[in-house]
A = this chain, B = another copy of it.
């Protein structure tokens, strides 16, 4: 399944110098359903052995990378462009959070598609003010002020993930709904089955001397809370009942032998 919302997004790397970074960027783009890589005046050979080794199965993204000489050329045809920057530009426009600006690169309806670009600067200096002005919005990835500068490929990873996540979000909240239930899509054991188990459990625990009649209710209440939190399905409950039966048998068996 390909996500059409991501089809027209270009990841633009300005003057990347590290072939490992270019390869790693291609890989994570492929991971996240992005395909268009544009390299502006690369300072390394993007098709060298090191780069391809890092790309692994993203090698098709790497092989299809377009090389251009300047940033305006990289942005031709784009309606929207967001630049990433690690620096704070107090006099300039405010920096957006990735979660705020990146969704803006995505079309919301199939009939309203447009090309868009997400731009990353060189490893050593980031994007210059002259380069930033070609884009409409600027994003800064929040990071520790002790060391705010991310590796280029890591920055591509974080942003690509967020783009992918944004597209999937609706579907994901449905299929991966967190919470109730043991197995994926499975049913919890019916409550009456669980009640039956508690009754058998109490009998066995009394029998082996773990419970005494006067302590049984409060102890059983604690055990119930624990098991209810786990939310067992029918198979798991059957497993627990199997243990109970076997305890019963093991306790009785030697007595029968005597």
Q: Per-residue 0/1 for A69-100: is the Cβ within 8 Å of any B Cβ (1 yes, 0 no)?
A: 00000000000000000000011111111011
Contact status A176-B231, CB under 8 Å: no
Contact status A97-B176, CB under 8 Å: yes
CB neighbours (8 Å) of A48 from chain B are: none
CB neighbours (8 Å) of A168 from chain B are: 142
Within 8 A of B (CB), among A120-159: 141-151, 153-154, 157-158
Which residue of chain B has the shortest Cβ distance to A168 in the bound complex?
A: B142
CB neighbours (8 Å) of A147 from chain B are: 27, 30-31, 57-58
CB of A107 within 8 A of chain B?
no
Also in contact, A30 and B180, with CB within 8 A (given A249-B209, A251-B250, A251-B251): no
CB neighbours (8 Å) of A172 from chain B are: 97, 142
CB of A230 within 8 A of chain B?
yes
Contact of A97 among B54, B151, B169, B246 (CB under 8 A): B169
CB neighbours (8 Å) of A66 from chain B are: none
Contact of A31 among B94, B144, B164, B176 (CB under 8 A): B144
**Nearest-Cβ distance from residue A145 to partner chain B, whole angstroms:** 6
Contact status A148-B226, CB under 8 Å: no
Contact of A99 among B149, B171, B227 (CB under 8 A): B171
Interface size on A, residues (CB 8 A): 86
* Interface hit among A110-118, A192-200, A235-243: A235-243
Contact status B254-A258, CB under 8 Å: yes
Contact status B97-A178, CB under 8 Å: yes
Contact status B30-A146, CB under 8 Å: yes
CB of A109 within 8 A of chain B?
no
How far does the alpha carbon of A158 sit from the alpha carbon of B95 in the complex, in Å? Answer: 20
CB of A67 within 8 A of chain B?
no
**Nearest-Cβ distance from residue A176 to partner chain B, whole angstroms:** 5
* Interface hit among A9-17, A39-47, A181-189: A181-189
CB of A223 within 8 A of chain B?
yes
CB neighbours (8 Å) of A58 from chain B are: 147
CB neighbours (8 Å) of A231 from chain B are: 178, 229
Query: Can you list 5 residue pairs at the A/B interface with Cβ under 8 Å?
Result: A28-B151, A142-B168, A208-B246, A209-B250, A226-B232
New A-B contacts (4) at CB < 8 Å, excluding given A30-B144, A54-B151, A161-B161: A31-B149, A31-B154, A141-B161, A205-B243
6 pairs of A and B residues whose beta carbons are closest in the complex = A230-B230, A177-B179, A208-B250, A210-B246, A154-B157, A33-B144
